[in-house]
Copies of this chain bind each other. A is one copy, B any other.
Amino acid sequence: MNILVTNDDGINSKGIFDLVTELKKLGHVTVVAPDGQRSACGHALTIENALRVKKFYKNDEFFGYAVNGMPSDCVKLALSEILDTKPDIVVSGINHGQNTSQNIFYSGTAAAASEGMLAGIPSMAVSVVSFDTQYDCRPAAIYAAELAAKLPGLGLPKDTFLNMNIPSLPYNEIKGTEITQLSNATWKDAYEKRRDPFGREYYWFSGEYISADEESGSDDWALNQGKISVSPIRINFTNSEFADKLKSTLLELSTL
């Protein structure tokens, strides 16, 4: 199996290293990942600037290609320029911090998986519920690799990728896996207004994640039970039902 791996925490993060270590047991792994932290970059693409690709070594061994761009750039560059053959799967992660609910909008980890999906490749995103950059992702990586091995055979629809979140528990304390939907948790946005050393104002995002973890069957609910959450994420933007309603409403507009 040929596996393309990327992430949004950067090629030097612990999550991607632990993931790659496990995935190498499944087949040939190529890592193409950002050269640094790109959290919350969403599906951003670099089109106004030059992209550099540099070989990245870890523990004196070649580990992969570091790109001065976004996770989506990494997938596109890998498929267009770096890989000789189309990979069998794309795995994005392991992200330090859960990607549940509305976080899918902002997550570079999820965007990279959707970029793989757009290219017609079975793809998945993986995250652990810990923002600690030194968190030991080896237990999570074992579970992630197990799902990755099954990915080509799952019959994923063309518009769907998998989003896996893993609790921050020791390997043996994980209570199982749930197939989930995204929870209705939201961000309560807030900004801290501060002053720089020159007395000028600036803002820093300090939003709070408001969980709605009561909903049985949601990703946040599963994680709170100590279970792994796997959500099939469909990206199908057209609201066809509402389109029908809109047709009659908009006919009333004069010039439109």
Listed in ascending order, the chain A residues whose CB lies under 8 Å from chain B are 37, 39-48, 50-53, 72-73, 76-77, 79-81, 102, 104-106, 111, 114, 118, 142-143, 146-147, 150, 154-157, 159-160, 176-177, 179-182, 186, 189-191, 193-194, 196, 200-205, 207, 228, 230-240, 242-243, 245-247, 249-250, 253-256
Q: Are B193 and A81 in contact (CB under 8 A)?
A: yes
Q: Are B249 and A45 in contact (CB under 8 A)?
A: no
Given contacts A42-B43, A180-B243, 20 further A-B contacts (CB under 8 A): A37-B48, A42-B111, A44-B106, A50-B204, A51-B205, A52-B200, A72-B106, A105-B111, A105-B114, A146-B253, A157-B239, A176-B256, A177-B250, A177-B256, A230-B256, A231-B237, A233-B238, A234-B237, A234-B242, A235-B237
One complex includes copies of this chain to the number of: 2
Q: A47 is contacted by which of B205, B235, B237, B250 (Cβ under 8 Å)?
A: B205
Q: Are A231 and B203 in contact (CB under 8 A)?
A: no
Q: Are B191 and A247 in contact (CB under 8 A)?
A: no
Q: Tell me whether chain A's interface is mostly helix, strand or loop, or mixed.
A: mixed
A46 to chain B, nearest CB (A): 7
A29 to chain B, nearest CB (A): 21
Q: Given A234-B238, A234-B239, do A255 and B143 touch, yes or no (CB 8 Å)?
A: yes
A-B residue pairs, 8 tightest by C-beta? A234-B239, A42-B43, A181-B238, A42-B42, A50-B202, A232-B239, A40-B45, A177-B256
Q: Are B43 and A189 in contact (CB under 8 A)?
A: no
B residues in contact with A51, CB < 8 Å: 191, 202-205
Q: Are A253 and B191 in contact (CB under 8 A)?
A: no
Q: Are B105 and A155 in contact (CB under 8 A)?
A: no
B residues in contact with A255, CB < 8 Å: 142-143, 146
